[in-house]
């Protein structure tokens, strides 16, 4: 039999959208998950998302679904991550899933519904569908872009000390970074600007720390060949 691509076949697959929403909380990179109430995978945690409506784009769809879980105005960055098409990813029928990566600055604490919670990316519970590899893909995308873009702006508050920024990079990258090297690299790339103000010393004393901000709080490629590597052993 000759294959005819125009022949009538079964109904097209459904299409879902999901979001890997990441935030550094208490010094740990965490992902937003919600507990499913219905089958399949009732009782399991999953990424926020849902079905793509006929009259909306993928980006419109994920923002609509996220609005039910978190104030989308608090997302500092949102980008398309990947589309998964394994035939058996949904036991109820053929379904494509397009995933997005969303980031929230560390100084925000958005209100969440009772079925939604933050979970450390390194300590994920059992997730529904293929959401575990999607979460890990989101983490790897973030780690890669921390090296060659200014995406650190999406994790950081408007103003921060270099020590605070180092903590955010360390949590996202999974390894320590030198505060001195981080400041030198980001200033050389013209990513940071001093605010001209200082943070008051803590109870232990010491000199007040200078405050910085990102020059641009929108994604820019800054060095396409750069890699932030873990320190040598």
Structure tokens at 56: 């909306």
DSSP single-letter state for residue 193: E
pLDDT for 19 equals: 98
Domains and CATH numbers, the chain: 14-146 (3.90.79.10), 153-214 (1.10.10.10)
Full-model pTM: 0.90
pLDDT for 147 equals: 93
Helices (H), the chain: 58-67, 131-148, 162-173, 179-188
Sign of the Cα pseudo-torsion (218, 156, 124, 113, in order): negative
pLDDT for 197 equals: 93
pLDDT for 114 equals: 95
pLDDT for 91 equals: 95
Task: Flag residues of the chain having pLDDT under 50.
Answer: none
pLDDT for 3 equals: 58
pLDDT for 202 equals: 57
Model confidence pLDDT, tens digit, residues 153-197 = 999 999 999 999 999 999 999 999 999 999 999 999 999 999 999
Question: Which of 81, 132, 120 is closest to 102 using CA atoms?
Answer: 81
């Amino acid at each position: 039999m000759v294959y005819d691509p125009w022949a009538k076949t079964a109904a097209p697959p459904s299409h879902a959208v999901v979001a890997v929403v990441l935030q550094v909380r208490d010094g740990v990179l965490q992902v937003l998950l919600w507990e499913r109430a219905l089958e399949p995978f009732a009782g399991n945690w999953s990424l926020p998302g849902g079905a793509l409506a006929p009259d909306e784009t993928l980006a419109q769809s994920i923002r609509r679904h996220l609005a039910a879980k978190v104030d989308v105005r608090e997302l500092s960055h949102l980008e398309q991550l990947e589309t998964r098409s394994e035939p058996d990813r949904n036991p109820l029928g053929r379904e494509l899933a397009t995933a997005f990566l969303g980031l929230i600055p560390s100084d925000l604490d958005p209100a969440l519904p009772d079925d939604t919670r933050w979970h450390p990316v390194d300590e994920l519970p059992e997730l529904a569908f293929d959401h575990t590899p999607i979460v890990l893909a989101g983490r790897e995308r973030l780690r890669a872009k921390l090296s060659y873009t200014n995406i650190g702006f999406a994790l950081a508050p408007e103003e921060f000390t270099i020590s605070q920024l180092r903590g955010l990079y360390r949590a996202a990258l999974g390894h320590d970074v030198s505060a001195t090297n981080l400041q030198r690299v980001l200033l050389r790339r013209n990513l940071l600007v001093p605010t001209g103000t200082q943070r008051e010393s803590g109870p232990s004393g010491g000199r007040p720390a200078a405050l910085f901000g990102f020059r641009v709080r929108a994604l820019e490629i800054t060095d396409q060949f750069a890699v932030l590597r873990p320190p040598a052993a």
